[in-house]
Amino acid sequence: MVSKNNEMMRRDLEVIWHPCTQMKDHETLPLIPIKSGKGVYLYDFEGNSYIDAVSSWWVNLFGHANPHINEKIKAQLETLEHVLLAGFTHEPAIELAHKLADITPEGLNRVFYVDNGSSAVEAALKMSYHFHLNMGKRKAVFLSLTNSYHGETIGALSVGDVALYKETYEPLLIANRQVRVPADQSREAAEDALAELEEVLHQHADEIAALILEPLVQGAGNMHMYHPAYLAGARQLTRKYGVHLIADEIMTGFGRTGKMFACEHADISPDFMTLSKGLTGGYLPLSVVMTTDEIYSAFYCDYSEYKAFLHSHSYTGNPLACSAALATLELFEQEDVLGSNREKSRYIWERAEKIAALSNVKEIRQQGMITAIELQGYSAQERVGISVYRYALNRGVLLRPLGHVVYFMPPYTISYEEIDKMVDVAYEGIDTVKKEG
């Protein structure tokens, strides 16, 4: 008799083209059909459980099937599932916008609803360019950091630094310059990189609309991390040279770095902040662009004028997604989430010390509830991450390494016992590939 798992795998591979996947891999790497989720666990159809150590692509904050978020979505479902946000509005969108304006850095008083992270980046880029145009300046170049990632739509790809994407789609990309990201988490590295940033701004500020960066942690860039001094310096320099600062907090927002937003580590307020992923607790797609009254006012005009920002998505401000986001923020209000995260991040660091002693580990770095373990001694062709992934899955932990970087980014509800298992399995997996190598 064919198992439910095997039947689902067969039917899936007949029709579905999976994201961020070389589909040929599934000739030897089985898909895992998931039946349900609860807390930090995912369950397949054969009764196996997996600790979701990567928060299902960094989105889940408070566990799967969270009772509080579930109830809020169910209640909204009985009232209003969706309505266009052009000419109409609804209570969840209004309440969420006010809450976001209250908790984000000072001055970010305007909320533009979008659908997903890449779309938020696209909207922020367009807003920045269009603002300068409304001010009588044509500034059509964007500045970004090396090793960065901001999404996979055309504008977002343009300001990223993933060679595989940029080389393939280069003819389609918008104008972008790059400056060096700080080499590590030291203040000295931040200061060195700021010197280069100032040189570029001094020479080219008249053509640069905005600098976009991932504050403190470059997610898809192998979880590279840098010092908050770079954020503070970048904010000063962009103001000095009349260039916008776009903080892409799609991954770093909502407590991941130890504060509600990564920008708070440097006490800065950008001109734009993009938010998504954890915004809805991992339930539904939703993103926003936060910006200032100054930028909003530059678009306030008669409809017939070219100054208006006529950008839209069909599911913008969806009531169900907004309700999920409101429920997520309520959990932050009801519990000392950030305090609990600080304790858990310390515990993860302490438990991971034994991993650092392995000879195939280059370093371990951490920022809040993000811990990265960088392996050494492997070529890209060896795909060591896949070996660690296989090992961990067979022992009930979902790790999805970024190349040779194994990382932990679990839901905040993970227990200390579950942390122990997550770290122990990662240690065993890394040690096993060392022995096999």
Q: pLDDT (tens digit, 9 = 90+) per residue, 52-99?
A: 999 999 999 999 999 999 999 999 999 999 999 999 999 999 999 999
Per residue in 30-39, pLDDT (tens digit) is: 899 999 999 9
The dihedral built from the CA positions of residue 184, 185, 189 and 194, taken in this order, carries a sign that is positive
DSSP 181: P
In the chain, what is the greatest distance between 2 CA atoms, to the nearest angstrom? Answer: 70
pLDDT reported for residue 2: 67
Strand ranges, E, within 123-243: 141-145, 176-179, 208-213, 217-218, 224-225
70-334 topology per CATH: Aspartate Aminotransferase; domain 2 (3.40.640)
Distances 225 to 78, 181, 213, 256 between C-alpha atoms, Å: 44, 9, 12, 13
CA 256/CA 265 separation, integer angstroms: 12
Q: Is the pLDDT of residue 100 over 80?
A: yes
Q: Is 246 helix (H, G, I), strand (E, B) or coil?
A: strand
Strand ranges, E, within 101-213: 110-114, 141-145, 176-179, 208-213
pLDDT reported for residue 57: 96
Q: Is the pLDDT of residue 303 over 80?
A: no
Domain boundaries, the chain: 32-65+336-436, 70-334
Q: Is the pLDDT of residue 437 over 70?
A: no
CATH of domain 32-65+336-436: 3.90.1150.10
- 291 Cβ contact partners less than 8 Å away, ≥ 6 residues apart: 108, 110, 112, 124, 127, 271, 272, 273
Q: Is the pLDDT of residue 1 over 60?
A: no
pLDDT reported for residue 4: 87
Q: Which amino acid is at 265?
A: H
pLDDT reported for residue 423: 98
pLDDT reported for residue 164: 81
pLDDT reported for residue 427: 98
Per residue in 228-255, pLDDT (tens digit) is: 999 999 999 999 999 999 999 999 999 9
Per residue in 134-190, pLDDT (tens digit) is: 999 999 999 999 999 999 999 999 999 988 888 899 999 999 999 999 999 999 999
